[in-house]
Amino acid sequence: MNPFDDALPAMLADVERLVCKESPSSDVDAVAESADLVAELGTALLGVVPERVGPHVVWRLGDGPARVLVLGHHDTVWPIGSLRTHPFSVRDGVLRGPGCFDMKVGVVMALHAVASLADRSGVTVLVTGDEELGSPSSRGLVEAEAAGCAAALVLEAAAGSALKVARKGVSAYEVRAVGRAAHAGLEPELGVNAAVELAHQVLAVATLNAPERGTTVTPTLLNAGTTGNTVPAAGGFQVDVRVTSVAEQERIDRRMRELVPVLPGSALELLGGPNRPPLPESASAALFARAKRLGGELGLAPITGIAVGGASDGNFTAGVGTPTLDGLGATGGGAHADHEHVLVDDIPGRTALLAALIRELLEEDE
């Protein structure tokens, strides 16, 4: 008998409270209120008041050194008011609501799994509030809490039902061009067209794409100019880079910094750089093998793994050398989309798997 079968109603009640506390990453007040709720839910389950670091909530359990980091985030991409169009609901075994899959169900699973342990000494639970922004204020905290641990277990949602055994590294850039304005009808020859310069640069950046290496370099958001009858004096575009190795991330960074202007009189400025290192399969292999074995012992469906292009805070934990297994959260789909949903029947089994992983890691580390 899975003890989390009986706990499921309480877990769903906690999920409802968390989903109904909307927490778009860029809304400081909303994220602060969501962090308050995470702290309240966790305190009730763990019996310990957490430390608050801005919108981030951390429990360091026991008096000894940290040995297992359980990691998640409570911020979402959904703006305030999304509950009106995407209300919380549970029907026919499917849970819906903004941020349920990515990743408020995972947060609740983490808290209940840790609470079920007879001995929690050495467990750190960290729930951050800016992951969807790229973790600008929490990266140092994530890396510090992960350093020296035997494992980092990340409660991001599964890829369908598969654990995420590898993630690409991410770099983000903005290429800015500066030209000179002029009247487009009277004297366009006196201008330096930043839009044309950007067109050259977009094409140059696109040539860096190398899918045979697992590398994608994608120009994205583009803007230039001020009015329809003015030669654009300035503009820029963003670039999304995904890579499978640090060496490839460094290679693309060098190439981006080698960009030079094409039009006489124009100038370029490059902002940004590497954001998250890759999470290589080698960082998760041992933990994934352990999860597969424990899943079999628990009678769960066969545990599978997949490499994905998206990044998470697990990239940071792997980057400091901590063995990391990601995608331990909810099953379902539709992250960041209208059809975001969670499969309710899988919650107890996945929570039991997490609890078993933590318990075995603690016992082995002792």
Q: State how far Cα 72 lies from the chain centre.
A: 9
pLDDT in tens, 164-219: 999 999 999 999 999 999 999 999 999 999 999 999 999 999 999 999 999 999 99
Q: Which helix (DSSP H) or strand (DSSP E) does residue 307 occupy? A: strand 305-308
Taking the alpha carbons at both ends of the chain, their separation in whole angstroms is 28
Please enumerate in sequence order all residues whose Cβ is within 8 A of that of 3, keeping only pairs 6 or more positions apart, or say none. 116, 352
**Distance (Å, rounded) from C-alpha 96 to C-alpha 14?**
14
Predicted local confidence at residue 366, as pLDDT = 61
**Catalytic residue list:** 75, 131
**Distance (Å, rounded) from C-alpha 234 to C-alpha 236?**
7
**Distance (Å, rounded) from C-alpha 107 to C-alpha 132?**
15
CATH H superfamily, domain 3-167+278-365: Zn peptidases (3.40.630.10)
pTM confidence score: 0.92
Predicted local confidence at residue 365, as pLDDT = 63
pLDDT in tens, 242-261: 999 999 999 999 999 999 99
Q: Which residues of the chain have pLDDT under 70?
A: 365-366
Which residues face 89 on adjacent strands?
Answer: 96
Tell me which CATH code domain 169-276 carries. 3.30.70.360
Predicted local confidence at residue 338, as pLDDT = 96
**Distance (Å, rounded) from C-alpha 128 to C-alpha 58?**
8
Q: Which helix (DSSP H) or strand (DSSP E) does residue 51 occupy? A: strand 51-53
Numbered ranges of CATH 3.30.70.360 in the chain: 169-276
**Distance (Å, rounded) from C-alpha 306 to C-alpha 326?**
10
State how far the alpha carbon of 282 is from the alpha carbons of 71, 135, 293, 357, in Å: 19, 24, 18, 18
Q: Is 36 exposed, middle or buried (0-12, 13-18, 19+ CB in 10 A)?
A: middle
State how far the alpha carbon of 62 is from the alpha carbons of 48, 148, 172, 245, 309, in Å: 10, 16, 39, 36, 36
Numbered ranges of CATH 3.40.630.10 in the chain: 3-167+278-365
- Cis-peptide, bond into residue 103, ω within 30° of zero: yes
Predicted local confidence at residue 1, as pLDDT = 74
pLDDT in tens, 145-168: 999 999 999 999 999 899 999 999
